[in-house]
Amino acid sequence: MIPCSHPPLESAEWQKELASAFGNAGELLRHLGLEHRLQPDILEAAKQFPLRVTRHFASLMRQGDPDDPLLRQVLPLAAELSEAPGFVIDPVGDNLADCGDGILQKYHGRALVIATGACAIHCRYCFRRHFAYQERSARGQEWEALVDNLAAHPALTEVILSGGDPLTLSDRRLGQLLAALQRLPGLRRLRLHSRLPVVLPSRITEDLVALLEDNPWSVSLVIHANHPNELNRDTARALDPLRRAGITLLNQSVLLRGINDQESVLRDLSEALFDMGVLPYYLHLLDPVKGAAHFAVGRSAGRSLIAALRRQLPGYLVPRLVMEEPGSSEKTPL
C-alpha cells in the first residue's frame, strides 16, 4: 500500500504548531522558569485580551529573565488595567473608515482587507486588542461579495490583506481569496501584512510561495519584528524562498518602551533584517490604545532615535518614523 503523504483531513504541520501555542500565562512562565512571577493581576489582564504565543516565539526568549524583550511583548501585566488619559478603544479611527465586509479604506488607491480576526500571537500593545473582529472580519463570508464591494472603490490599485493575520488562513481559503481578487481589473499590487514569518516560520511552505507567486500582481509582504532576537535561522530559511520568488520583503515595527527604544537595538534590528533580504519600512509610534500606555515612547525620543540611526546606517536601513492619526489620508511622518 502506498501511504498518502497529504491525507486530506489531516492539518498541515504549521497548523498543528499553531494549535499548540501557549494560551495561558502559567504555562508560559513555567516554560521559562518564571513560575514565581505568576501574579493574580496577570490573570486579570489576560481576561481582557488572552495571552497567546507560539512555541517558536517562546523558544527565542531567554530563560529566567522577566525583562526579556520578547516576553514583555506578550505577557499580560497589571499596568494594562490602569486608565491613562488619551488611551482609548479605537485610537486609529478604524470605525470611521469601515466600508463593511471587513474592508477599511482610509488611503488613496489602497484598500485594507481584514481577511481574518485570528493571530498566532497576541501582542499586548496591539491597537486591535479591542477590535470587534467577530462582526468585522471578512471570514465566513463569501470572498465574492467582498470583491464586489472592492470593485465599487474607484482607483483601487493595491489590496492589502491584513487582520488579524491573513497567513493564519489555510492555503485553500487564501487561494480562493486570491482567485476572487483576479476580477479587479485595475489591481496592480497585492500586499500582505503578516507576523507569521517571525512567530511561525513553518507557515511559509512551498505551496504558499507558489500561491503568492502565481498571480498577475507585484506582491509584497510586510513582516513585523520589533527586536533582533525575534529573528533567527528559521526566519531566514522561511524568507529565502519568498525573496527568490520575487516578493518584496519589508518590515514594520512599533516603538516600544523598554523593548526597542535604544539606538543599538534598532540598529541591530535593521542589520539583521537586511541580512535576510528585508528592508525596514515603518517604525510606528505606538497607537494610544487603552491598556498599552506603559509601552509609549514620546515623539521627540522617537525622532532622536531615528537621527542616531541615520548617523550610523545607510539611508535604506533607517525606517520611516510614522504615526497614525484618525481621519488623516496617510500615515503621518515625524
Ligand X SMILES: *Cc1c(COP(=O)(O)O)cnc(C)c1O
Q: Is 287 in the site for ligand SF4 (CB under 6 A)?
A: no
Cα 84 → chain centroid: 25
What is the smallest separation between the CB atom of 187 and ligand X, expressed in angstroms? 15
Q: CA angle, 174 as apex, 168 and 178 as ends, to 5°?
A: 145
What is the smallest separation between the CB atom of 184 and ligand X, expressed in angstroms? 16
Q: Is 115 in the site for ligand SF4 (CB under 6 A)?
A: no
What is the smallest separation between the CB atom of 4 and ligand X, expressed in angstroms? 42
Phi, psi (deg, nearest 5) at residue 27 = -65, -45
d(CA 199, CA 275): 18
Per partner kind, with CB cut-offs from 5 to 8 A, the member of ligand SF4, ligand X, none near residue 139 is none
Per partner kind, with CB cut-offs from 5 to 8 A, the member of ligand SF4, ligand X, none near residue 115 is none
Which cell is 176 given?
480562493
Phi, psi (deg, nearest 5) at residue 182 = -60, -20
Q: Is 119 in the site for ligand SF4 (CB under 6 A)?
A: yes
In the complex with ligand SF4, the residue whose CB is nearer, 195 or 290, is 195
Which residue in the set 165, 230, 287, 324 belongs to the binding site for ligand SF4 (CB under 6 A)?
165
Per partner kind, with CB cut-offs from 5 to 8 A, the member of ligand X, ligand SF4, none near residue 293 is none
x-or-dash string of contact with ligand SF4, 172-201, rule CB under 6 A: -----------------------x------
Q: Is 122 in the site for ligand SF4 (CB under 6 A)?
A: yes
Q: Is 284 in the site for ligand SF4 (CB under 6 A)?
A: no
Phi, psi (deg, nearest 5) at residue 100 = 85, 165
Strands 320-323 and 248-254: unpaired
For residue 83, with 0-12 CB atoms within 10 Å meaning exposed, 13-18 middle and 19 or more buried, which class applies? exposed
Q: How many CB atoms lie within 10 A of CB 99?
A: 15
